[in-house]
Amino acid sequence: MLSIQNTLVSEDLIDQHFICDLSHCKGECCVAGEAGAPLEADEATYLETHLADIKPFLTKRGKAALAAQGAAVKGIDGSLETPLVEGKECAYTVFSDSGLAQCGIEKAHKEGAISFQKPISCHLYPVRVTSYSEFVAVNYHQWNICDAACQFGAALKIPIYQFVKSALIRKFGKAWYAQLEIEAAKKRRP
């Protein structure tokens, strides 16, 4: 583990490789799993406040799930997350004609309807952040639906921390990321 500011960072972010390969997985991370995407409290508030601006970019099923459950729900562990459509895809998921799952929040952002890009947990993936009283843990979440992304990243020699650079900067800041780069360079030296 690497200690940077108030975080403990798994060395997997440096050692493991990753680049999303949507041609293989079709955005399965928006569909698979037992819960919605983790949300921070301010993200849940933003989604609730701007739901009317996001809805035009969503599916009928997603809109119905949001109408029934709200913009965010409490998970079984009490944390906030995005609602699901009938226990399946995230309510904010939209599908292309070819079946590719994408984020309706991000689509609304790209179209200029909202200023929020998407939940930080989604932007950071495959990195997961867990807050504890004394520190924040920054770990790699390995999921078999991302095997093609691991192979693609390995082929191009792109470590996880570089793949999620903009998300890590969004979450922790430029100075934090610069320190991570220093630690990665030290680790690569013979």
**Which tens digits make up the pLDDT trace of 133-164?**
999 999 999 989 899 999 999 999 999 999 99
The two tokens of residue 93 are 């998921």
How far apart are the C-alpha atoms of 185 and 163, rounded to whole Å? 16
Domain-wise residue ranges, the chain: 1-18+126-190, 26-117
How far apart are the C-alpha atoms of 179 and 24, rounded to whole Å? 33
Nearest CA among 156, 183, 111 for reference residue 19: 156
Q: Phi, psi at residue 129, to the nearest 5°?
A: -115, 130
Buried b / exposed e along 103-135 (16+ C-beta atoms within 10 A): bbbbbbbeeebbebbbbbbbbbbbbebeeeeee
Q: Write the pLDDT tens digit of every residue in 43-72.
A: 999 999 999 999 999 999 999 999 999 999
Q: Write the pLDDT tens digit of every residue in 107-118.
A: 999 999 999 999
Q: Is the pTM of this model over 0.85?
A: yes
Placement of tokens 């301010």 in the chain: 42
